[in-house]
Amino acid sequence: MMMLRKKRQSMGRQKIAMKRIENEEARQVCFSKRRAGLFKKATELSILCGAEIGIVVFSPAGKPFSFGHPSLDYITKRFLGGGGGGGEMVVAPLCGIFVEGQKLLQLNQEHAGLTEKLEEARRMRAELEAEVAAQRGGSGLPCDVEVHEMGVEELESFQKRLEELRRNVANRREELEILCMDTKVTRGGVPPQLGYGGGYLGGYNGLYLAPAPVGGFYGHGQDMNMGFRFGDRWYS
Amino acid sequence: MMMLRKKRQSMGRQKIAMKRIENEEARQVCFSKRRAGLFKKATELSILCGAEIGIVVFSPAGKPFSFGHPSLDYITKRFLGGGGGGGEMVVAPLCGIFVEGQKLLQLNQEHAGLTEKLEEARRMRAELEAEVAAQRGGSGLPCDVEVHEMGVEELESFQKRLEELRRNVANRREELEILCMDTKVTRGGVPPQLGYGGGYLGGYNGLYLAPAPVGGFYGHGQDMNMGFRFGDRWYS
DNA sequence: CGCTCTATTTATAATTC
DNA sequence: TGAATTATAAATAGAGC
C-alpha cells in the first residue's frame, strides 16, 4: 500500500527576486524576519570570530533598530578613534552617536542589568513551578530511593506520619461510604495552582520580541547609492 | 565494473559550536566569509524592504569594515535626528542633546517598567519557593486536608502507595539493624539521577546572550555588554 | 503582529587546488 | 590568502493560528 502522504502543507520556501517587495504587508513581514536574521548573523560573527560590530537599521516604516557588540557606543568610539590596525581616523559620521552614548552609557548598563535579572527571576520561577507541579503530580510521596537513604531517626518519624495518614485514609473511606456516593460531589478538578501539567518548558527566548514599528513614511532612499568600504576601498 | 564515484570529496558543511573559534587561521577565514555574508544580507534587506542600514565591523585583527545604504553618513544623521526624516542636523552638540533627551525619556520609562516586572517576578518566586518549602518540610506527604478531599479512586491508589512505603520503611529498618551501625556508611548524598527533583527545564537558549568571547584581543571588552536596541528597547 | 510548520533556497564548513 | 567544490546546516517564503 502506498503511504498516503499528507497533502502538502506549504509550498516551502520560494525563490524571490532581488527587488523591492511591492506588497506592503509582505515587505514588513520580510523586514522583521530578515532584521532578526541579520542581527543573529552579527551575533554569531562577533562570537565566533571575536569581531566587534555595530549596526543601525531603519525599517521601511522608519523605525530605528540597532545592534552593538560590545556596544554601539564602543564601536562608535573605536571607529572614531581610528581603531587599532587601520590606523587612520575615520571622520565624524558617528560622532553624534558617540556623544549621545557617552551620556547614556550608565542608564543603558543599568537597564541591561535589570533585564538580565528579570530573565533570571523568570527562569527561576519556571523551575520552581515545575518542581511544584512534579511534587504534586507524584502524589507527594517520597520515592523508594529516598526512603532507602533515610537514617533511623528519620525513619521513625516518617513511620509515625505514615500511621497518621493511614488513619486519615481509613476515616475518609468510612466517610465516603456513609455518604453513599449518591452525589458526585467535591473535587472540581486540578487545583488551580497546578496550571500546566508538565510545567512550562518555554523554548523560545523572546529576545527579539518587539513593539510593532508603526510610523509614518518618509519618501526617499530606494535609489540612492549603496556601497560598502572594504578595507581601504569603497564598493558599490 | 562501475567506477564507484561515491567517495566523498568532502564531508560537507559541519555544524559548529557557537563559541569563539580558537584556531586563529580558521577564525580569520570564517570572519571573511561571514562578513561577506553579513553585508550581503544587509544589501538584500535594504533592497527587498527599502530599509536603510549602516554597519561597522572590526575584524579579529582589528581592521575596520563598513557598509552603508544609502551611506553610513546618511544613516548616522538619520539616527541622530531621531527619525526626523530630514536628516539635516548639522550641529552635533545640539543634536546630541536633543537625541539624548528623547532617549532618556524612553529609557526611563523602560526602566520603570522593568523594575516593576522584576519585582513581580520576585514576588512570584518567593511564593513558589515558600510552597515548595512547605511541601518539603512536611516530609512530602499530603496533609490531612488533602486526604480529606480525595475521592474513592484516589484514596485507593494512595492506600496502595502507603502500603508500599510501609514495606520500604520496614525493609530499611531491617537493613539498618543488620548493618549494626558500626559503620557510618551509605548516605553519601543524593544519587546523581535524582538531582533536583524538578530536573532541568532549560527554557533558555542563550543565542543572543552568548557569553562574550572573552576577547583578550583588544584588551578591553570582557566586561562590556553586548546588546541591541530593538524598537524602543535595549536587549542584551 | 508574533509564532509555528514545512519545503526550499541559501549560507558555509571542510577540503582541494 | 583566494577561488572552486561539495554536502550539510541554517535561514526563510508562504500559509495558518
Distance from CA of A12 to the nearest CA of B (A): 19
B71 vs A: CB within 8 A: yes
Residue A69 has a pLDDT of 79
* pLDDT band with cut points at 50, 70 and 90 for residue B11: confident
Mean pLDDT computed over B59-68: 84
Report the Cα–Cα distance between both ends of chain A, in Å, rounded: 58
Which of A88, A111, A186 has the highest number of chain B CBs within 10 A, making it the mutation to test binding with B?
A111
Q: Is the CB of A11 under 7 A from strand D?
A: yes
Minimum Cα–Cα distance from A75: chain B residue: B56
Which residues of A, range 154-173, sit inside 8 Å of B by Cβ?
A: 155, 157-159, 161-162, 165-166, 168-169, 172-173
Closest nucleotide to B45, Cα to C1' = D12
Report d(CA B79, CA B103) in Å as an integer.
12
Contact B201 A205 (CB under 8 A): no
Contact criterion met (CB below 8 Å) for B77 and B88: yes
Residue A61 has a pLDDT of 84
| DSSP state letter for B194 | T
The answer, as to whether pTM is greater than 0.85, is no
A130 vs B: CB within 8 A: yes
Contact criterion met (CB below 8 Å) for A53 and A69: yes
Residue A223 has a pLDDT of 30
**For chain A, how big is the Rg over CA atoms in Å?**
31
Contact criterion met (CB below 8 Å) for A84 and B59: no
Residue B151 has a pLDDT of 61
Minimum Cα–Cα distance from B84: chain A residue: A218
Q: Which residue, A151, A161, A129, is CA-closest to B125?
A: A129
Of A19, A68, A222, the CB nearest to B228: A68
Minimum Cα–Cα distance from A110: chain B residue: B111
Query: Cβ–Cβ contacts within 10 Å for residue A17, how many?
Result: 8
- The helix/strand/coil state of B92 is helix
Closest nucleotide to B48, Cα to C1' = D13
Whether the per-residue pLDDT at B49 is higher than 90: the answer is yes
Contact A115 B39 (CB under 8 A): no
Whether the per-residue pLDDT at B45 is higher than 50: the answer is yes
Whether the per-residue pLDDT at B162 is higher than 90: the answer is no
* pLDDT band with cut points at 50, 70 and 90 for residue B75: low
Q: Is the CB of A48 under 7 A from strand D?
A: no
Contact B38 A42 (CB under 8 A): yes
Q: Is the CB of B207 under 7 A from strand C?
A: no
B56 vs A: CB within 8 A: yes
A81 vs B: CB within 8 A: no
* pLDDT band with cut points at 50, 70 and 90 for residue B157: low
Q: Which residue, B191, B151, B49, B1, is CA-closest to A187?
A: B151
Mean pLDDT computed over B18-25: 90
Report d(CA B92, CA B98) in Å as an integer.
10
Residue B60 has a pLDDT of 86
Report d(CA B118, CA B120) in Å as an integer.
5
Q: Torsion over CA of A77, A78, A79 and A82, rounded to 10 degrees?
A: 120
Q: Is the CB of A204 under 7 A from strand C?
A: yes
B109 vs A: CB within 8 A: no
Of B57, B121, B186, the CB nearest to A122: B121
Contact B56 A54 (CB under 8 A): yes
Cell digits of residue A110: 543599568
Q: Provide, as residue numbers in chain B, all residues whose Cβ is less than 8 Å from the Cβ of A150.
A: 172
Each residue's pLDDT, cut to its tens digit, for chain A (236 residues) gives 444 445 577 888 999 999 999 999 899 999 999 999 999 999 999 999 998 888 888 888 888 888 887 666 666 666 655 444 333 333 333 433 433 443 344 555 556 666 666 666 666 666 666 665 555 444 455 555 566 666 666 666 666 766 767 677 677 666 666 654 443 333 322 222 222 222 222 222 222 222 222 222 222 222 333 444 444 434 44
Q: Is the CB of B187 under 7 A from strand D?
A: no
Look at B90-99, B130-139, B156-165, B224-233 and tell me which has the smallest mean pLDDT: B90-99
Residue B85 has a pLDDT of 40
Minimum Cα–Cα distance from B118: chain A residue: A118
Whether the per-residue pLDDT at B71 is higher than 90: the answer is no
Query: Cβ–Cβ contacts within 10 Å for residue A194, how many?
Result: 14
Q: Starting at the edge strand that comes first in sequence, how are the strands of the sheet with B52-58 ordered?
A: A233-235, A227-230, B64-69, B52-58, A52-58, A64-69, B227-230, B233-235
Tell me how far apart the 2 most distant CA atoms of chain B are, in Å.
90
The share of chain B scoring above pLDDT 70, in percent, equals 28
